[in-house]
Every structure is written in structure tokens, then in C-alpha cells.
Structure 1
Amino acid sequence: MSSSVAVQLDHSGHAHQHGNASVFARRPILTGVAVGIGSLAPHFFLPVQASLGFAAVLIALIAGIYFGFAVMNGSARDQFVEFNVTGLFAVTALLGLLLWPILLALAYFGHALWDLAHHNKSRLSLVKIPTWYVPWCVVIDVIIGVGLIAIWTAHGIL
């Protein structure tokens, strides 16, 4: 048996397969909400230092994904840009962990802006990413950022 897979080009010329696309690609908002809530849930149960550490590690991991995109399909310039921006998020995470926890929550909002900068319609010269990834990641970032502020305020961390 063969299955047919439609290939479409988006407005920027990127090929997208439909039919075998992941659930994340087919339902970026819904899966983004699920991943965002799932990523936020441990903070309700973790001790303060563990919650801060988890938030710091997660934002550094999230930021590093763009470097992965650059390694897979970007130029040396794209790799340089994404590596350095990932480093800035890692330093911000460390400062949030060690000095000012609010930086951790703000880093998630900053990453949502970085996601939007990669949107194919933004006309910025940044690494190309799948079109579904931007709304997916923005939703996750905003849920975690808002959630951390609420949880940490309730626990007296902020």
C-alpha cells in the first residue's frame, strides 16, 4: 500500500508535507497548551530551589532548539546568531537562578518574542523553521511565563 502525501510550499518557499505530519504540526495551539501546562505542572510540587532550577534548565533547553534548527538547515551566520542568542538565554537563566528569579519568568516572554522574530512573514534574516513551530512555542512560552509569575508570587518567591 502506498499513502499519498501532499507537499505544499508556503509563502516563503518551504516545503511542508501533509498526511504524515506530527500532531504538533497539525494542532500547534492545542499541543502547545498541553506542553505548556505539562511543563508548568511540576512547579506546583517542587521545592523553591528545584522549581527555579527546573525553570532555568527548561528555558535554556527551549532556546537551544533554534541552534539545532540552524545546524540542520542554516548557514554559518545562522548558526552563529542562534548559538549566541542561546547563550544569552542561558546566562539569563543562570542570573535568574542565582540572583533574580523574575528573570526566569521574563526569559520565557523574551523567548516568545524571539519565536515571533522567526515568523516567516517577519522578513528578518533568521534561520528558517517549520511554520507551525512559531505559534506552538509562543503558546508554551507564554503559559510558562504567566504560570511562573503566578505560582512564585503565591509562594512568596517574587
Structure 2
Amino acid sequence: MLTAPEVDRILDRLGPDPLRPRTDGMLAHRRISGSRTAIGALLMDQSVLAGVGNVYRAELLFRHRVSPFRPGRAVDAELWARMWADLVVLMRAGVRMGRIVTTRPEDRTRRRGAVVREDAHYVYRRTGLPCRICGTGVRTEPMVGRNLHWCPACQAA
């Protein structure tokens, strides 16, 4: 059992949560923009941003064509604002649907009806398969203890 002050101390260590209404995503950017650490690692750091797991990390970076190896300080406020807004939409949709779907209908093999598992993601768990956008083989490499998935062509910068 934790006391209220103990719970508050734990919560104070967490970054902003995209699922919480009226959360200021720019709080995360302040932590990101001051860091030399790769954005792919920062997105997994719960003290920077709460609730983003491996799937959302890979997919968010792909959707914004950001290399997971880019230093946090190279992610400007405008780019982060777009990423944050997208993350809020994606994560809320995931809660509503009970599953994570990050692809846009035009990038799926089936454009109508229920999204099949093979069409749900751009890069996550698609190692060696062709990128849905450019055809380059999706790559995987460990980063902060988890497999990172990305397209080396679409996410070169």
C-alpha cells in the first residue's frame, strides 16, 4: 500500500501521457530537445513520455519519417508538435479499438473493412519485408533493450 504522497512522487517522475486529456506534449519536448540521446531511446523513457511502448515508438517515427537514431536535440518543436498530435490520435484509437493500428487506409492491401493483422503496421515486426511506401527492406536492431524496427530509406533523416 502506498500513501498519497508516495503515489504523487512516482507520478511526478513520469513524462506527459498522450492518453490523458489536456496534457501538454511540449513538456516532453523540453526533455527531448535538450538531449543528445537518440529519439528512439527517448520515446521509450517513461520519464520523458509516459505510455509509449515499442510499437508506437517504431510506428510514430516511421509516420513522421524520423530516423530513430536522430538525437533528441535535432527534433524541433514544430516536428514534435505534429508527432505529439499524431501520437494522441493513434493511442486513443488503439484504446477504442482494443488494438494498435497505425497504417492509413491507402497504405493497406485491404482499404475497407476490418484491418487484418498483416496491414496494421508500417514497420513494427516487419523485418526483411518491403517497406509499404518505398519497398526497401525493413530493418531491426536492438535499442534500449527492445527491437527497434525502421525503414532505412524512408527514415534516413
Greater relative contact order, per chain length (Cα 8 Å cut-off, separation 6+)? 1
Decide: shared fold, TM above 0.5: no
Q: TM-score, normalised to structure 1's length?
A: 0.29
- Say which one has the larger Rg: 1
Which has the larger helix fraction? 1
